[in-house]
Each structure stands twice: as C-alpha cells, then as structure tokens.
Structure 1
C-alpha cells in the first residue's frame, strides 16, 4: 500500500530533520542499501569463483584446454568482483564506515577545527556522552 501525500510529506520532513540533527547517523542509514548490494555481489562472485574452479578442474581432467582457460577467466573475474565489493564495504556489522574510496569525506569549510584525539576509546565515548547530555539539558 503506497503512502498518502500527507504521510510522504511527513516522512520527508523526518528524514530532513534527521539529516540536519545527526548527519553521521543519516549517512549510515543511507549507506546500508549500498552495503547490502556489495554483500550480494560478493556472494554471487564467490559462487562464480567456485564454479570457475570446478570448470577449470573439469577441463583439466578431460584435457580440454579451452574449457580450463574459460574456468580460469571466470575465477579471475569473480575474484576481481569480490575484491571490489570488499573495498566498497560489505557491512561488517560495525558502526564505523569504510575508509578510503567511497567512504565519507571530511567536512570542508572554515569551521572550528576538531580537537586532536587523546585518551582511550572508552574515554572518548564518555566525553561524547557527557557532551550530548550537556547539549540536551538546555531543551
């Protein structure tokens, strides 16, 4: 059942307010579809790799060199697709986005620079929590 015009408008407003309030979380939600696609490509390419390996062995057993070469080419192509999907991010379950190509870009502009990270991971998380509690207290 499709959404009514009012529901679609409310959903759009909610998405915009979420993106304005917590851009990192909104970016994570948008990236989940891409991660699912990369995971699906990796699984299909993995199956293709195994099929290519089977064709390679079958062509070798029957001494059909051309069939073994086709199996090898399928293996190479499937391996390439798996590596590309891995680099783009497979959604490993962690809440950290992939680094490098396709990952989020650092913000640009003349804002205040972020302080250097210091302390352990737990200390940084406690500081973030305290900061959020302080910000929510004024509401």
Structure 2
C-alpha cells in the first residue's frame, strides 16, 4: 500500500529528526545492503568444521567418547563462527553515555511526534 504525499513528507521529517536526535540508533536501524557476511569468516568456519568432523570420526573410530564429543563441539563452533557476522563498531561501552546524553532531546522528539499525530488526526475527515 503506497503512502500519500502528506504521509511521505511526515515520514521524511520523522527520519530527519531521528537522525538529528540519535544518529547512532538511526545508523543501526538503517538498512545496509552493502554489508554482507565475510568470506574470510565463512572459509575459516568451514575449515574448523571439517577439522571438527575429522576429530569426531577419529573419536568414533578409536571408540573414545571424549574425543568424539570434542570433535562435535569443534564442528559446532566452526558452524557458529561461519554463520555469524563480526561486530563492526565496538561501541557497546559508550551506549549508556549516549542514552543519558540524549534523554532531554528525546522528550522534544516525542512531543513533536505527538503534535504531528494530533495535527494529522485534525486534518482527517
């Protein structure tokens, strides 16, 4: 369902205000199509998975259960490493500071949203 021109303008204003009030959150919520899984992580994860499979088969062949369990755990770690994305920005410690610093502008952001909502309701028949 397409947005009307008025709704599109409101959405653009909200987006601009979000970028002004909390740029870090806006950046994290933006769809980033250029960001894909790392080939290096996939290759290393696959190699670790194959090594884990070899250790698992070695444990089965020797009938030594701890080696088989270790191989299974290594395989799981390899698959996990290959399928997860690395953290691009390590800004987790600063996240609390941003939330505290932006608490006062957030009130104005919410109040402006409320005003726009009321204005929109008044404009509708």
Greater fraction of residues in helix: 2
Do these two structures clear the TM 0.5 threshold for a shared fold by scoring above it? no
- Give TM-score scaled by structure 2 length: 0.39
- Give TM-score scaled by structure 1 length: 0.35
Instruction: Find the structure with the greater CA-based Rg.
Output: 2
Q: Which has the higher contact order (CA 8 A, sep 6+)?
A: 2
